[in-house]
Amino acid sequence: MAAQQTLTGEEWPALPSEEWKDTLVTLHMWTQIVGKVKLALVPFLNDWWQVPFSVAAQGLTTSTIPLGSRVFQIDFDFVDHRLNILVGNGSARSLPLRPRSVADFYQAFMAALGELGIRVKITTNPVEVENTIPFDGDNVHAAYDPAYVQRWWHILLEVDRLLQRYRSRFVGKSSPVQFWWGTFDLSETRYSGRPLAERQWPTRWLSLGAHQEIAEAGFWPGNGKFLEPAFYAFAVPEPPGCREATISPGPAGYHPDLSEFILPYEEVRRSSSPDKMVPDFLKSTCEVEADLGGWDRKALELPDPLPGP
């Protein structure tokens, strides 16, 4: 078997927020439109695991979505820059990914679904973002820069690979590596096996995803409080002492406004060994959270990762 290629720091592409922020917002809304179709049709799975997309060879995929006796899936292709709707009976539709408003994308996408006999109604309000413009009325966000989309997707491929490796040594309950279209991040979540303390949640959907103590880690391309792309990690509940804890690597630290550990992506990109830097961050933050939180690490973790190819 051929040796797996290891990227150097120079091969992790630059992703300056200011240069692709308009594309980022537009693409985020497009993924929410597609994601809400999946949410409307796929049966509930614990911790909302039916909601996210998966990283695919050329982009992102919903995986199969049931529709009566049929199935279909929707793929964002970031190589040929198309949205592909594939139905189990062989029928399909494809839309170009190009500069177009969220409203125009919404109308074209829903029309393509209708042509395939897929009838579904979704709420048109964005979620988990400050933008409140309904999809069908959003003529503000209309940018699509294919070069920057490919840079972001290239990063997702590498993060997915490292998160898959990180996940392999945990034998307790853990999530798949998932792309959450609501928050636009790629993450993996570990569970302590202990229930969260009873509390009143502001919405029912939050309560349905909050059964056990968790430690989550992942990557986002920037948000309202931390605009630059970064790796992040946090625990719920946050154990006392997290804010003062020392973690590795050196550029990482606790961000008080986010209540999360942060490793800026630019530090990783400039590193001589991202394949060491990112796993060090994942391992260090999880150990701090688990140790301070009193997790039974001996029962939940393998002593070493399983051998790879």
Tokens of 170: 């945990």
Mean predicted lDDT score pLDDT of the chain: 91
Predicted confidence (pLDDT) per residue in 263-303, tens digit: 999 999 999 999 999 999 999 999 999 999 999 999 999 87
Contact 221, 152 (CB under 8 A): yes
Contact 231, 268 (CB under 8 A): yes
Contact 218, 186 (CB under 8 A): yes
> Mean per-residue pLDDT for 191-210?
70
With a cut of 90, say whether residue 19 has pLDDT above it: yes
pLDDT at 5: 44
pTM (2 decimals)?
0.92
Predicted confidence (pLDDT) per residue in 245-258, tens digit: 999 999 999 999 99
> Nearest to residue 47, comparing CAs of 190, 248, 247?
190
Q: Which helix (H) or strand (E) holds 284?
A: helix 274-293
3-state secondary structure 238-277: CCCCHHHCCCCCCCCEEECCCCEEEEEHHHHHHCCCHHHH
With a cut of 50, say whether residue 164 has pLDDT above it: yes
